[in-house]
Each structure stands twice: as structure tokens, then as C-alpha cells.
Amino acid sequence: MRVRMTRKWAAPAVAAAAAVVATMVVNPTPGASASAPQSAAKSKAPAAKNVIFINGDGMGSAAREAARLHLAGLYGQLTMDKLAASGQLTTTPDDPKSVITDSAAAATAWATGEKTYNGAISVDVDGNKLATLGAQAKANGKATGLVTTAQVTDASPAAFFANTANRSAQDEIARQYIEVSKPDVILGGGEDWWLPKGTPGAFADKPAEDTSEGSVGTKGNLINKAKNKGYTYVNSAKQLDKAKGSKLLGLFANEEMFQQRPEGQGDVYSPVVDLPTMTDKALSTLSKNKKGFFLMVEEEGTDEFAHSNNGARVLQSMQQLEKTVAIARAYVATHPDTLLVVTGDHETGGLSVEEATDTADESGDGISREDGPFSIRGSDRTFVIDWTTSGHTSVDVPVTASGPLSAEFSGKHPNTYVHDVLARILAPRG
């Protein structure tokens, strides 16, 4: 399946974000005066220049509903659900062995407009390289960046900036970042893939929380290569805060920036630098480019903890994602030439939200157990999460958007449609 199109967009500065986050009201025509006539507002709508694309990995509608109850209350609303336009995306891959997508095939659909097989990073079903939005944005003079709580070379960010037949080749993906696609900002985990085996970096090999972690790269010391190519390298919150310049590499964990296990079995979500902070830094760095930017942001914990059927950590990850969306929405409020899109690559866990007072668990134990109860904000009531699998499902995922072209996301579309809209900004024709 091949779907393509094109269009355009804009950039720059994250100053009063906190104040705007606290007071913001959705304006379906960003930048237009509330008192201006509709026709005048439309005529003054800014051209699209920037794109902030946010992936809650594994986040289906039920995960958003669980987060809404827990974080916003019975009648509250998440920031990600306040965006002006909403729709649904189907996620089926082009894979002869599966009708359920993985993150690689799903992100490839976003990044290239083509369906492919599970495990593929922006190559087609025959293994041929596909043009990616990250590379196209760079070719059009825009700044580019990726931020994730997974390894920076994990499937979702990789699909926008690399091409490989196998998502597991993360050291090759890192090499392509530095030598080929050259995103200006790279922030997240996965230091292990940037250093040769036996060469630990800022994060020790075989840490107590997971002794399987350790440097495994086969492409040389890619951190040093990045420095030689002008990247400022950081590995702590303090260093990130002080970092200057337009090219930034930050690696803040051996692998993912958390330990994904069932509740009470060594599960940890305490990143060295949290997703909102990384996103804010990325925006302030990328926005210096007058031609605009493309930023891909991902919360990985929403997927990994769902694989472990860990409702408490999924909700914690959703809270970090929600804070990140608030920062991005504040940026859009002061930069109305920016398109913000929030979605998920697929659903994980077969999560459903159920009454906590129903003591008969019709699903059984183990993978199908009920999880909770979890509090509902501003209420003495609770709910439970019921899991049906530890894998992915094929249910549609919600997509919400604000800014230029956001109305395009209304309705139901295949996930390749994301590419069609974003390409109109990042890879415009003619």
C-alpha cells in the first residue's frame, strides 16, 4: 500500500510555556483575534512551518480514558484531548505473517507513507529504502530532532531518520543518525548502542537493576564521532540545561529510561531527565532555525509497561506524556505556524477501564487479570484496568491535533495518512 502527498509549515521559542500551560483555552484558529470576523481570521491564518509529532507508544483510546479519570477526574479533560481536531487511525501492517502491527511498521507508515512488514525501519516489503520525513525536512532546510524515553535508536524515532531491514540493528541506526540523516537534536536512552562492547560510558555496564544491560555497539565510538561532527554531548539533567548550540546529543540511560516489569518486580520509572524537560530543551534548540523544524517526541513507557500489564506505571507514563503535550500546546499557542499532532502507533495490552466495585473478574488471572484499583482525581471513586493480552492489538488509535492543517485529521484514516499531511509541511513539492 502506497500513499503520498505534500504541504508546508513554521518555527521558534519556548519562553512563557509554564504560564500558557496553566491558562490556555483551545482556539481553533491559532493566532486569530477572538473579536476578528471569521473571514478575516481565516485570511490571516499563518502558513505551516513547524511540526511537533508526539507518539504515546501503545496508547489506545482506553489508555487515554484511564489517564483522563486518574489525572483529570470524572468530568475533566486531558490536554491531549483538548486539541482542536480529533480522529482515528487504523494500524494494519503489510506483513504476510501478521495483521497486528509493531512499532517499526507503524512508524514507517507515518514516516514514509507506505505500509511494510513488522520489524522494518523505513524500507518497503522488498527491503528497498524509502524516503523519510526526517530526511526530507532536513533537505528542505528545517531543523530536525527526536526525543524519546526509549533508546533514541528504537523503532519509532528510527523510522523518521534511518533505513534498515531490521529494527534490531540499533548501532547501525545510530551511525545513520550521525553520518546520514543528521538530526540536530537527539535526546533519550540507549547509550549501549553508541559504544563498543567493553566500553562503558556514563552509565555502567551490568547495573544492579538490570545486569543484562551493557555496551554492545559494533560501529566504533559513535559518541566521539558525534562530538567530532559538532554535537554537544550530555548525559545528565544539569548538562542538558546548560547545553548551548544547535546540535545536541543526550543519552540518559543504557537502554530505555526506565525498568519495565510488572508491579513490585523491579519496575522503575524515574528518568535521569524526564520527557517534558527533554521536549522543552529540544523546542528551544530547534526553534532557532528560521526555516522551521520537525520534532518527533515519544513516551515509550505507555507501551512497555502495558506489555508488563503494569497499570500503575502506564498511568505514570501517561502523566509524563500529558505534561509533555501541555508544553507542546503552549508552544503552539505562541507559535501559531506550528502543527501539533498527538497519537499512538498501536494499542498495547487490550486495556479496558472497568468498575472497581465489580469483584467478579470475568477475565481470570495472569495476563487477563484486573489491575488496580486506581484513584479518580477529585473523587473518592476508583476504577480498575482489565488486561486481555501482553501484546499489541489491532484496535484503532485516536489522533488529536491543533494548528495549521489540524482539521485534516478529522475522520478515520489509515496510519499512512499521517505522512500525507505532515509531508505538505516537511517535504513540499515545487
Binding annotation for Zn(2+): 57, 303, 307, 345-346, 392
Residue 351's nearest CA partner among 14, 74, 62, 91 is 62
Cell of 109: 507508515
Cell of 67: 489517564
Cell of 293: 523544524
Cell of 235: 548525559
Q: Is 181 a catalytic residue?
A: no
Q: Which amino acid, residue 326?
A: A
Query: What is the rounded distance in angstroms from the CA atom of residue 223 to the CA atom of residue 199?
Result: 11
Q: CA torsion sign, 299 to 181 to 8 to 427?
A: negative
CA angle 19, 284, 52 (to 5 degrees): 85
Query: What is the rounded distance in angstroms from the CA atom of residue 78 to the CA atom of residue 52?
Result: 18
Annotated binding site for Mg(2+): 57, 154, 156, 298
Burial class, 238, CB count within 10 angstroms (exposed 0-12 / middle 13-18 / buried 19+):
exposed
Q: Which of 35, 43, 103, 390 is catalytic?
A: 103
Phi, psi for residue 124 in degrees, rounded to 5: -80, -175
Query: What is the rounded distance in angstroms from the CA atom of residue 11 to the CA atom of residue 425?
Result: 12
Query: What is the rounded distance in angstroms from the CA atom of residue 289 to the CA atom of residue 278?
Result: 18
Query: Which residue in the block uniquely carries the three cell numbers 506489555?
Result: 307
On whether the CB atoms of residues 188 and 252 are closer than 8 A, the answer is yes
CA angle 226, 232, 235 (to 5 degrees): 95
Cell of 96: 504476510
Q: Which residues are catalytic?
A: 103
